[in-house]
Amino acid sequence: MSDYSYPRKDAEFLINEVIGFDEWCESAGLEEVNSELASAILEEASRFGTEVIAPLNVVGDQQGATVDENGVQETPGFADAYQQYVENGWGALGFPEEYGGQGMPKVINTAVDEIWQSCNLSFSLCALLTHGAIEALMLHGSDELKSAYLPKLVSGEWSGTMNLTESQAGSDLAAITTRAVPNGDHYLLTGQKIYITWGDHQMAENVIHLVLARLPDAPAGSRGISLFLVPKFLLDEQGNPGKRNDVHCVSVEHKLGIHASPTCVMVFGDNGGAVGYLVGEPNRGLMAMFTMMNDARQSVGLQGLSVSTRSYQQALQYSKERLQGTRSDGSRFPIFEYPDVRRMLMTMKSVTEAMRGLAYISSAEIDLARHEQEPATQAQRNARVDLYTPIVKGWITEMSQEMTSLGIQVYGGMGYVEETGIAQFYRDARITTIYEGTTGIQGQDLVGRKFLSNKGEVLGHYLAEMQGTADELSGSEQLAELGAALSKALDSCRTVSEWLLAHAAEDRNVAGAASVNFMMMLGFVSGAWVLGRSALKAGQLLAAGQGDREFLQAKLITARFYSEHVLPRAEACRSAITAGSASMMALNEEQF
């Protein structure tokens, strides 16, 4: 058993009251799905997570994955937990029934993923990569590849990986050199990939690699990259894992955190070529891989939330136990009573609730887009998901650095020593702003592809929707101050949008210089919007005498704290953005 407890009350309030799950399921025609079923799933996932997966978190940190002549050996205990995960059908939860999935909406899957990630980030990564591989195959794979590989990937009996990075090609994937040469009905791949998460292990019968490589006649740059499926074991006539393919893990990285997640150097084709099959069209691999990356980016955003939540829960508990003050009567009191410790705890509480709101609302939007029948509305919903993705990934993971650092700060010196376990969350969180596109890449994606490319139209719709919430808050006597603060922040967002649209074209450094602050600003404002929506709902339920009074009142106060103490950071972003790029780019190399 672990000390982690999934914040079900907050999650169910969000899903049922703020997102309106039941009405939505009904309108999407999902007759068998409702909040009762969702609640039962979350209860069972919490039980499985806390009893089976969470206890392996510390052992995984202390005894990370290793590699020997038989390949990667995962942390003891992981294989058994993974087996139970597969047998209980957890991997199949969100996938279509035609491939053996259970067809649950994405938002429920996201809530369940939060549980796995909070319990054990390293363990959860294996399924995360598998899910990305499934998404890419479902959208771009041939019928033959789908029927051969999807059912086993969906069940989790086989796991998936994502092989993009090479030593000279990280953020700049255009530089990849792994080669794929046609050879009858398949291709032979040669090359080396680095940093491949769960690139090898013994928990699943087969590991299915999705690999970016170049065909012999491919044009240079990102337009000459194709996507291939390369199984660890080639399938025999019956479709079962048979002969070993020419792909091997040659070493695993020693790293700051997520020690139990093997980060592998993979070599393809040391003995003549790894057999691979083309996924999608030649030279269009990067686009297909983006399907996988977008899914994974939302999941990595969720990781930021999950690790922050775990850190918050542990810090809260410690703050109530650690006696470090003496009253005039000589009795001692816990650090929980100090305003500055409350500042840290309230920051962690309000920001994690804002993160959860944003991540779940974004997942619900994916569901809405999938089930939308009307093409124009579906396109708008997809554009909103695209806008959310870099904010979910970038803002949440950046904030998770601060949240897990605050967790250590609450512990004082005991936070800095490893035995309390709080430092692991800080170390584990550190990767989240790096993989699946660094924060810089998320900022660039947001400004370039999601904002400038449509001249701010998609963001304009989002700001208008948030303004609707601000107006509603302003109309409520109890919440008017929250409405005023959100309106002011939205005015700043509009100022910044206009400024960027006007200046980005005249100076090519402007967008790059502004990008991360722009992403963070939209994150802070989105957080206030989410908590504002929650406060409106909490106010309505309290007025009607419904729901858990203590919980709902805490929601109102948490939204107020965020509005007063966190949202003002959006203004700092505005100032930095509109200051432009001049001082950032002015020094020459020698002046540094």
Ligand X SMILES: Cc1cc2nc3c(=O)[nH]c(=O)nc-3n(C[C@H](O)[C@H](O)[C@H](O)COP(=O)(O)OP(=O)(O)OC[C@H]3O[C@@H](n4cnc5c(N)ncnc54)[C@H](O)[C@@H]3O)c2cc1C
Token pair 């990370």 is at which residue? 64
Binding status of residue 163 toward ligand X by CB under 6 A: yes
Closer CB to ligand X, residue 58 or residue 434? Answer: 434
167-170's contacts with Cβ under 8 Å and 24+ in sequence apart are 167/192, 167/194
Check: CB of residue 411 under 8 Å from CB of residue 421. Answer: no
Our answer to whether residue 436 is catalytic in this structure is yes
Q: Specify the DSSP class assigned to residue 456.
A: T
Q: For residue 319, what are its two tokens?
A: 């703050």
Per annotation, catalytic residue among 114, 353, 398, 436 = 436
CA quadruple 577, 578, 584, 585: dihedral sign: positive
Binding mask 221-260 for ligand X (x = CB under 6 A): ----------------------------------x-----
Binding mask 255-284 for ligand X (x = CB under 6 A): x-------x---------------------
Stretch near ligand X under the rule CB under 6 A, chosen from 142-150, 165-173, 179-187, 492-500: 165-173
Check: CB of residue 476 under 8 Å from CB of residue 336. Answer: no
Stretch near ligand X under the rule CB under 6 A, chosen from 92-100, 156-164, 200-208, 271-279: 156-164
Residue type at 362 in one-letter notation: S
Closer CB to ligand X, residue 204 or residue 490? Answer: 204
Strand partners, 186: 183
CB of 435 to ligand X, least distance (A): 4
Closer CB to ligand X, residue 280 or residue 357? Answer: 280
The secondary element (H helix, E strand) that includes residue 543 is helix 508-543
Binding status of residue 159 toward ligand X by CB under 6 A: no
CB of 444 to ligand X, least distance (A): 5
Closer CB to ligand X, residue 255 or residue 494? Answer: 255
Stretch near ligand X under the rule CB under 6 A, chosen from 163-171, 344-352, 378-386, 572-580: 163-171
Token pair 């194709």 is at which residue? 226
| DSSP letters for 307-366 | HHHHHHHHHHHHHHH-EEEE-TTS-EEEGGGSHHHHHHHHHHHHHHHHHHHHHHHHHHHH
172-to-167, 177, 192, 195 alpha-carbon distances in Å: 11, 12, 16, 15
Closer CB to ligand X, residue 392 or residue 559? Answer: 392
CB of 59 to ligand X, least distance (A): 19
Binding mask 424-453 for ligand X (x = CB under 6 A): -------x--xx-xx-xx--x---------
Which of 86, 104, 150, 164 is the binder for ligand X (CB under 6 A)?
Answer: 164
391-to-69, 386, 442 alpha-carbon distances in Å: 42, 9, 8
- The closest of 207, 403, 218, 417 to 311, measured between CA atoms, is 403
Binding status of residue 308 toward ligand X by CB under 6 A: no
Q: Report CA 38 to chain centroid distance, whole Å.
A: 21
What's the start-to-end Cα distance of the chain, in Å? 52
Binding status of residue 397 toward ligand X by CB under 6 A: no
CB of 262 to ligand X, least distance (A): 10
Binding status of residue 52 toward ligand X by CB under 6 A: no
Closer CB to ligand X, residue 164 or residue 361? Answer: 164
In the complex, residue closest to ligand X by CB: 170
The secondary element (H helix, E strand) that includes residue 525 is helix 508-543
**Positions in 192-211 near ligand X (CB under 6 A):** 195-197
Site residues, ligand X (CB under 6 A): 162-165, 170-171, 195-197, 255, 263, 431, 434-435, 437-438, 440-441, 444
